[in-house]
Amino acid sequence: MSPYAHAQNKHMRIVLGVCGSVAAYKACGLVSTLVQRGDEVEVILTADAQRFVAPLSFAALTRRPVASDLWDQQVALQHIDLVRRADLLVIAPATAHMIAKLALGLADDLLSTAALAATIPMVLAPAMNSAMYEHPATQAHLATLRGRGVRIVEPGSGFLAEREQGVGRLAEQADIIQMIDAALQPVPTTRLSRVLITAGPTREPLDPVRFISNAATGETGIALARVAKERGAHVRLLLGPTSLPVPAGIDVVRVTTAAQMWDAALSAVEFAPELVVATAAVADHRPREISAHKLKKGRDSFDLVEFVPTEDIVLGLRQALPDAFVVGFAAETEEHQIHATRKLVAKNLDAIVVNDVRDGRGFGPVVNHAVVHFADGASVDFGPLPKMTFAQRFLDVLEEHI
């Protein structure tokens, strides 16, 4: 059996949108594989996509005319007709411009109008330069689309068209097809009814305008919250300062300082979570006193700032919730396993996830390399993965282990 054969032996009717990306040529291979396994595919090419690949290529593969013109007088209302007779809308590659249009509900060509009219499941496979993919606007648009139920096939990392290394490569065909098949399947359910997650950084003020913080964005914690919510858990998210949006349906408690997160964590004990995942990058120290006025440079003001330890939130949760499965996170730059294991034992955790954060790795919308160590000695190396993919696989592993 082909590795791409349908697990459910059901042929699908797919509308495939192709945008103007260097990766547009890879859509031909995707179409060929889908057709070979029996799917019916209709292709929509944007005007920019036709600068990279000709309509004739897709017409030959699908044995169907290629749609591209919203104002084609030969086919009335085809943007409606295309998606109404399909099971699934796939856009691969999806450019930053198309992602923005879909998130904002803009519709000025055949593909964007068809997407806006679609009531069927949608799969997007982004492809672009890493700077464009990691830009806060693109990440916000992707988060908006995920919140509406759009499935995103996270891009890969490697050599880009600009002769650079980074995240933004169109996902491998096998990953796109896996997501296509999953889009019409029921979302996995969890046996966990209540999940508590901490995420994001904290900010410890020095004076009215300055604070001490770190590079954490909360993306991993938000991804875990999203996946747990989709699987049916009641999720409470204690979230430090971040510009990232949070999906609807998640109980969010926003905090700024470590003390505020400590108070929120103690209040969450009544929530009685069965699983606690502490991804937050909480400051280890804070100023003993906050200056009432802006500290001036050129004086000894900063030399006189005295620091005191902040509350140990994950340890406090462990002690307050003896029956919960508690997972900590460790961001390390050296001797990763040694430091992570020491933290695992000292805080009496059930598991700990260690990330290598040298040179800014692990922060923001990047491919993350995480390893989880369990208290019973087991460990799982997830390898380099986009954070949403990691969240899905991590929760799978936790479910099995719990």
SS3 320: helix
- Quote the crossing angle between the two packed helices 219-230 and 136-147, to the nearest 10°: 10
Contact 255, 240 (CB under 8 A): yes
User: Distance of alpha carbon 205 from its chain centroid, rounded?
Assistant: 30
Q: How far apart are CA 80 and CA 129, in angstroms?
A: 32
Confirm whether 13-183 and 194-401 share one CATH topology.
yes
- How many residues does this entry show for the chain? 402
Dihedral angle, C-alpha 386, 137, 201, 155, nearest 10 °: 0
Q: Please tell me the predicted confidence (pLDDT) of residue 3.
A: 43
Helix (H, G, I), strand (E, B) or coil at 357: coil
Is there a contact between 295 and 210 (Cβ–Cβ < 8 Å)?
A: yes
214 is catalytic: yes
> What are the pLDDT digits (tens) for 41-80?
999 999 999 999 999 999 999 999 999 887 765 655 667 8
Report domain 194-401's class: alpha beta
Structural domain spans, the chain: 13-183, 194-401
Decide: pTM greater than 0.85. no
Q: Which amino acid, residue 178?
A: Q
CA–chain centroid gap for 141, Å, is 12
8 A C-beta contact, residue 124 and residue 118: no
Q: What is the dihedral of CA 280, 281, 284, 290, to 10 degrees?
A: -90
- What CATH class does 13-183 carry? alpha beta
Structure-token pair, residue 172? 């491998």
**Distance (Å, rounded) from C-alpha 283 to C-alpha 304?**
19
* Tokens of residue 51, six digits: 């600068």
The CA distance from 274 to 195, in Å, is 6
User: Which of 214, 348, 355, 368 does the annotation list as catalytic?
Assistant: 214
3-state helix, strand, coil in the chain (%, to 5): 35, 25, 40
The residues of the chain scoring below 50 in pLDDT are: 1-5, 7-9
Q: Which pLDDT value is given to residue 187? A: 65
Q: In terms of DSSP bridges, do strands 285-287 and 234-239 run parallel, antiparallel, or are they unpaired?
A: unpaired
